[in-house]
Amino acid sequence: MGQPGPDGRLRYVVNVGTGRSDPANPFLPSQVADSVQNARDRGWVPGTPGPPFQLDQSEGFISKKR
């Protein structure tokens, strides 16, 4: 199910595993956009109640945009 945000409205979550733990190697906005699109391609529907959608991109994840 969605998780309530500070304003009480439900937020629907995608958990993205990247295998990255080095803060010097940030997750770029273009990679966030790619991850959202990838999650949608794999069945995540924003606004639909349910548990957090798990998306593992830890192996060989390279953003199409830089």
Report the alpha-carbon distance of residue 32 to residue 60 in Å, rounded: 15
Q: pLDDT digits over 3-58, tens only?
A: 666 666 666 778 888 777 777 777 788 888 888 898 899 988 887 777 788 888 87
Enter the pTM of the model: 0.65
Long-range contacts of 24-29, Cβ-Cβ distance < 8 Å, separation of 24 or more: 28/63, 28/66
Residue positions counted in the chain: 66
User: What pLDDT, on a 0 to 100 scale, did the predictor assign at position 28?
Assistant: 84
pLDDT of residue 27: 78
Q: Name the one residue in this structure whose structure tokens are 């990838």.
A: 38
At 37 the pLDDT is 92
Spatial CB neighbours of 34, under 8 Å, sequence gap ≥ 6:
63, 64, 65
Predicted pLDDT at 66:
42
